[in-house]
């Protein structure tokens, strides 16, 4: 039966089955509102969420959003409960505009499993992945994994200024701009940096325009100073740029990636903790019976589509159907909980699956 004509009652029944499975793993069933205040979501995700989610207006409550995903309301529920550690499961509709892919559903049911347990992150990562892998195993899906934390660790370890490291970190999830920044900070970007500063100096000399708007002269001068500093600053070394490129291009089975990363860590010891974390996760996955020898790993996986994940990431896909959305996705999102908790650290890992996709794959009716 095609995805679109799948009766909702069947999808609900499948969602209930999955939720029962997660409850069996110790998860507490949580319900969240469908209509959410837009402000928190807009602040977290920015303009992109406005174009993906349905935003509506209430004269009394302001902008409201139809639940685009469960992560934010579930994290908020968790913070209010004070339970630690905690495991949750949920099922319900999410709503997404599909501007670029008009044939995809704008409303569909998700089932999720979230683990808030900071005692052993590697074990928690493995627990979530294995839970998904086990229940999805009859479908013969392709599993993809990655770890945004490795690239982040590499950037944090670059021998350059804090400003440059922060600029790169800010664009971890936007590969095109990340690449542009890498080029600008590299040896071949030295001339560009000087030209940038020269251009701004020329603008200053020619400027006779009145200051208008909220952005103050101080802010403008701060940026001019930053450009001046950046022009004078030595480039990021070619060897470090090469190591970053090596890290970004890793796409292999887990054992191969681990050995490649250990080689890279010889020259870039800043990534060692992240590599050790990956190794601990692989051991934990192995202990749970996951076939890690053949598990795919890609350092850049999830970089474009999963902005709030900052560590382990995974997805399950119907083989040979790259045009379809993944059947399940998940990952670690410690940075997001830290923003929502105003700096309070709440390590969290979890994932969602789409019961309608599971039914469709089961019937081989895609």
For 75, 91, 288, 363, the CA distances from 49, given in Å and listed in that order, are 18, 21, 36, 33
Instruction: Report 91-120 residues binding another protein (CB under 8 A).
Output: 99, 102
Q: How far apart are CA 24 and CA 131, in angstroms?
A: 11
CB of 239 to another protein, least distance (A): 25
Among 28, 130, 220, 324, binds another protein (CB under 8 A): 220
Q: How far apart are CA 359 and CA 189, in angstroms?
A: 51
Among 224, 231, 272, 300, binds another protein (CB under 8 A): 224
219 or 263, CB closer to another protein? 219
Task: Establish whether the linkage from the previous residue to 185 is cis, with ω within 30° of 0.
Answer: no
Burial 171-193 (b: 16+ CB within 10 A, else e): bbbeeeebeebbebbbeebeeeb
Contact between 81 and another protein per CB under 8 A:
no
Q: How many helical (H) and strand (E) elements, i.e. helices and strands, does the chain have?
A: 15, 12
Partners of 28 in beta bridges: 88
Total residues at interface with another protein (CB under 8 A): 37
Q: Environment class of residue 209 by beta-carbon count within 10 Å: exposed (0-12), middle (13-18) or buried (19+)? A: exposed
Instruction: Report 138-197 residues binding another protein (CB under 8 A).
Output: 167, 170-171, 174, 176-178, 180, 184
Contact between 61 and another protein per CB under 8 A:
no
Among 20, 207, 238, 362, binds another protein (CB under 8 A): 207
The bridge status of strand 86-95 relative to strand 107-116 is antiparallel
106 or 287, CB closer to another protein? 106
Contact between 217 and another protein per CB under 8 A:
yes
Q: Where do contacts with another protein occur on this chain (CB under 8 A)?
A: 42, 46-48, 50-51, 99, 102, 167, 170-171, 174, 176-178, 180, 184, 199-200, 203-204, 207, 209-215, 217, 219-220, 222-224, 226-227
């Amino acid at each position: 039966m095609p995805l679109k004509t799948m009766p909702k009652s069947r999808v609900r029944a499948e969602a209930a089955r999955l939720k029962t499975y997660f409850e069996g793993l110790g998860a507490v069933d949580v319900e969240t509102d469908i209509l959410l205040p837009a402000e928190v979501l807009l602040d977290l995700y920015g303009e992109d969420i406005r174009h993906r989610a349905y935003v509506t207006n209430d004269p009394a409550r302001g902008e409201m959003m139809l639940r685009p995903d469960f992560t934010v309301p579930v994290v908020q529920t968790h913070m209010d409960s004070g339970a630690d550690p905690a495991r949750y499961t949920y099922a319900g509709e999410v709503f997404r505009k599909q501007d670029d892919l008009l044939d995809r559903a704008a409303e569909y049911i998700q089932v999720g499993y979230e683990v808030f347990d900071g005692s052993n992150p590697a074990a928690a990562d493995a627990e979530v992945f294995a839970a998904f892998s086990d229940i999805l195993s009859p479908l013969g899906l392709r599993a993809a994994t990655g770890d945004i934390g490795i690239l982040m660790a590499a950037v944090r370890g670059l021998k350059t200024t804090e400003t440059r490291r922060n600029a790169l970190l800010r664009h971890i999830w936007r590969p095109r701009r990340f690449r542009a920044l890498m080029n600008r900070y590299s040896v071949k970007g030295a001339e560009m940096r000087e030209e940038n500063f020269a251009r701004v100096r020329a603008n200053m000399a020619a400027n006779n325009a009145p200051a208008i708007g909220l952005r103050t002269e101080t802010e403008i001068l701060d940026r001019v100073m930053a450009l001046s500093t950046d022009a004078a600053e030595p480039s990021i070394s070619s060897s470090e740029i090469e190591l970053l490129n090596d890290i970004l291009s890793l796409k292999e089975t887990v054992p191969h990636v681990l050995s490649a990363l250990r080689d890279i860590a010889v020259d870039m010891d800043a990534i060692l903790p992240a590599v050790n974390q990956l190794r601990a996760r692989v051991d934990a996955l192995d202990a749970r019976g996951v076939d890690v020898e053949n598990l795919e790993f890609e350092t850049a996986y999830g970089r474009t589509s999963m902005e709030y994940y900052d560590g382990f990431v995974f997805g399950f896909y119907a083989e040979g159907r790259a045009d379809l959305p993944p059947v399940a996705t998940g990952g670690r999102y410690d940075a997001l909980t830290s923003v929502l908790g105003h700096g309070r650290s709440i390590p969290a890992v979890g994932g969602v699956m789409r019961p309608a996709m599971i039914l469709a794959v089961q019937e081989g009716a895609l």
